[in-house]
Amino acid sequence: MIPVILSGGSGTRLWPLSRSQYPKQFLPLVSEYTMIQETLLRLNGVTHLKAPIAVCNEDHRFMLAEQLMEIGIKPAAIVLEPVGKNTAPAVAIAALSAESEDDVLLILPADHVIADTESFHAAIDEARKLAEQDFLVTFGIVATEPETGYGYIKASSVRQGNAYNVAKFVEKPNHETALRYLESGDYFWNSGMFAFKAGRFLKELEKFNPKMLEVCRASLQAAKQDLDFVRLDKALFSTCPADSIDYAVMEKTDAAVVIPLDAGWNDVGSWSALWDVTQKDESGNAIKGDVLTVDTKNSFIHSSNKLVTVIGLDNLVVIETDDAIMVASKERVQDVKLIVDQLKANQRVEAQSHRKVYRPWGHYDLVDFGDRHQTKQIVVKPGAKLSVQKHHHRAEHWIVVKGTAAVNKNGEELLVTENESIYIPLGVVHSLENPGVIPLVMIEVQSGSYLGEDDIVRYKDKYGRV
């Protein structure tokens, strides 16, 4: 069985912590591990597992690879989607990447919480056996309340072991309908997790959406190997129909079965959902970071950097990051996306990235900025190298705080050590490398008429960036 990790989401409902360049699956929201690490670590103890296949946005490729490496997992493939096309094409690419058509794929979104791993493992084992009999298996979460934020799966009365044939999939209901679903006992929340043979899924996809399969196959055949990544052909993949697994296959096939799963599942789709699964104090507050409260209860309060104090409030969400603060009623957290929409409409960078931005060579932190200058702290990992580049609109002054920098300036090789500095004039071709065994820490002062990150002409890059 091959775990297939779907990591294409942007997690905008958890803004300002989750952003499109650093979404929730790469954040440690419920433990010391990130969500994507939790997704794979909770499979420890499941038998018959092969190396996983991960499908992700190409902008997240280095974060994903590094986070898997941190927990000692080497994936069979990391497939890069040049554009998002929903889950069905992503799963099709994974199925086409499997070694054998008889391999069972275990489809797992990268951002779920599952508290009871023993029950989850039992359900996986049941799903594998059913998938080997050519069923297409989905995991239906045993509903505990009339939730209107999830789709539902109706089970028929026909059983397949511990599973049921699927009668139908239904859209997110209103409250009255959800209450009827809950009372009937025939409906489960749609978890978005599946198991089926690679070949069986492809056969059903060819039946119901042959164009999608054709484009996915051609995109993979034309893909290029880029370091540890499989880079799908953008021109071809852009023509692929966009659809979910549910719409493309599961709602149409007559081979779908649902396994009831009661394992403390949560898709962490909002701040209130995260409050549900986070340990709370005696006042019902879920607190992370440097926080002080007085007469405050039933709230989620998260501090990333600063002291946050809350007095006399109830049922609130307060999130502090290095460049934004959000305060919301817990009942209105679904409207966080409206704030993100405003940020995007106003072309504000806070919708896309944090002040600290991660790169394959390390990261930088935007410390200060003005009309014609900005200051960054740059940290370069041992052995890492920034691209050979130049800028049309800015000059740069580098001061080494810790470590040693190997600098190439117009072909001249220089070593810059602690408390030394170097000036890179506008238009000069340059590169920067950390030849040491400790992180290189620098202060960079940029000055010029335009300071955007797109003012980079790259000549050579060890990470394959354009």
326-345: pLDDT as tens digits: 999 999 998 999 999 999 99
- pTM equals 0.88
User: Phi then psi for 85, rounded to 5 degrees?
Assistant: -130, 20
Three-class SS state of 44 = coil
φ, ψ (nearest 5 deg) of residue 304: -90, -35
Q: Which pair of structure tokens corresponds to residue 121?
A: 């493992």
pLDDT tens figures, 112-171: 999 999 999 999 999 999 999 999 999 999 999 898 888 999 999 898 888 999 999 999
Nearest Cα to Cα of residue 4 among 105, 126, 155, 149: 105
The full set of domains in the chain, from first to last, is: 2-266 (3.90.550.10), 271-337 (no CATH), 356-460 (2.60.120.10)
**Cis before 16? omega within 30:** yes
Per-residue pLDDT, averaged over 219-241, amounts to: 92
Taking only the tens place, the pLDDT of each residue in 261-299 is: 999 999 888 999 999 999 999 999 999 999 999 999 999
Helix axes 87-97 and 210-221, enclosed angle (nearest 10): 50
